[in-house]
Structure 1
């Protein structure tokens, strides 16, 4: 069996998929297999995948299923996985050649580690780099479950690797969550295992305002479901819940601001400030949106 099974869910991403697959083929660590789950695509995903199936043979397993959403597609891959380590790559993201090699270092000789992540650069729909997140922060590694809950640490999916035995223990992705299902699984793993950080940029994460994460209301509802689900878990008590709520309302405020919906943004920012006024970032967001709402700033 391979060392890594690579989980690639694909839904109408034929335009980006070749770049994702070829970024796996360019890995310096070569003991891998791709589990590509076609989640009911209506574009030419099958045609795009066909030459790679011929070229890669047993190193690529292509599974077609009716559309069930991202968590369901990833769970299909997990059910078909046999490798010790599972690595995530969405069809519109891209790995750098060091991705698997750097991730493997996080697990070697460290049985206490259940999940690892690294740094990313964000790219736009055309592949241009928007920004890079490559700064080691206080709660990026170790026993960090409460910080995952409070959203004071972010882990980007194309850098995530976890032991298969972890999902055997805590369960797979929660298919009732139509967003934030990734953070939900990271938290459940982190409640039992340490999280490791590979302190290097290892992937390009593609972002778009048309994505689920770009819809402030839908994302907020999913985040509220997550917060309620894990309230009362170790380290996820009353104060942690208020901090988590403050952060998601701040995030919603910023999303509204991008759309120039300053009235809605200010309402969300003030709610964030009321929930946790000790974080100066909540004060700053509310102040910025107040100035924009009154026309004193652009």
Structure 2
């Protein structure tokens, strides 16, 4: 029995890259999936370039927001529409390795975990390799994930049957971190990381160089608003986050030799 995987892809003016993203799903060696494309009020040709895909493949479904509501609401609409046993996420400008789902489904079916993620590599805006790999931890607990976000959202998948559907809070940034925290909170097992490269993260202008003040604010909001911690507890976690981020997590990003 091959469980159905629901893949959720929010889009906003991604006409230039979305075909490559969709093709990386179509070329999966694991074929029992549905791709839920959520167009979040795009003003470009996103819908037009996707038409041939939706007409040709019934597994590919397109939903549209009339106006832009942000990634959290787009992901939540996808989650609401999802019919799968498992839910995975793929952003509109990222790509999957062809055996990604196959490796992860095998892991999830072994009942050792409810959440699976993996290593991924960086590519530039044209999809060319930047020769950097973000290595996944072998196992990840809720406590460790609280210190810093170790799950690349483009690699994450969770068991919907055991954990239920997880909706994300509407924070401007870092909603994906909150989602994986909620998943591990609901599970009695650590998340399992796959060391193989299973995805490619597109580094665009602004994705790495976001200013430090905003970074502090967004991370503080995860603790204060997202998790409802007190001001002082949020502050303590924020300090811990920066220590973890700079001295532990950074070491997982290594050049590919």
TM-score range, shorter chain: 0.7 to 0.9
TM-score normalized by the length of structure 1: 0.73
**Counterpart mapping for 1:139-218 below 5 A:** 140-142=138-140, 144-151=141-148, 154-165=150-161, 168=164, 171-175=166-170, 177-193=171-187, 194-211=190-207, 214-218=210-214
In terms of Rg, which structure is larger? 1
Aligned equivalents of 1:187, 1:23: Cα separation in 2? 27
Question: Which residue of structure 1 lines up, in the alignment, with residue 125 of structure 2?
Answer: 125
CA RMSD of aligned residues (A): 2.8
Q: Which has the higher contact order (CA 8 A, sep 6+)?
A: 2
Deviation track 1:79-121 (CA, whole Å, cap 9, x = no partner) reads 00010001111110011101110111221131x6221101100
Question: Which residue of structure 1 lines up, in the alignment, with residue 39 of structure 2?
Answer: 38
In the TM superposition, structure 1's runs of 4+ consecutive aligned residues that sit over 6 Å from their partners are: 236-239
Deviation track 1:163-192 (CA, whole Å, cap 9, x = no partner) reads 2246636x41111x1111111111111123
TM-score normalized by the length of structure 2: 0.84
Corresponding residue SS for 1:30: coil
Aligned equivalents of 1:213, 1:50: Cα separation in 2? 34
Distance verdict in 2 for CA 1:166–1:181, change over 3 Å = farther
- Judging by fraction of residues, say which structure has more helix: 1
Question: Which residue of structure 2 lines up, in the alignment, with residue 28 of structure 1?
Answer: 29
Aligned equivalents of 1:168, 1:42: Cα separation in 2? 34
Aligned equivalents of 1:132, 1:184: Cα separation in 2? 26
Q: After TM superposition, give the deviation of residue 213 of structure 1 in Å.
A: 6.7
Question: Which residue of structure 2 lines up, in the alignment, with residue 230 of structure 1?
Answer: 227
- Judging by fraction of residues, say which structure has more strand: 2
Q: Which runs of 5+ in 2 are unaligned?
A: 251-257
Question: Which residue of structure 1 lines up, in the alignment, with residue 80 of structure 2?
Answer: 79
Corresponding residue SS for 1:38: strand
Aligned equivalents of 1:213, 1:182: Cα separation in 2? 19
Question: Which residue of structure 2 lines up, in the alignment, with residue 59 of structure 1?
Answer: 59
Q: Which runs of 5+ in 1 are unaligned?
A: 251-278, 283-298
Deviation track 1:252-293 (CA, whole Å, cap 9, x = no partner) reads xxxxxxxxxxxxxxxxxxxxxxxxxxx6999xxxxxxxxxxx
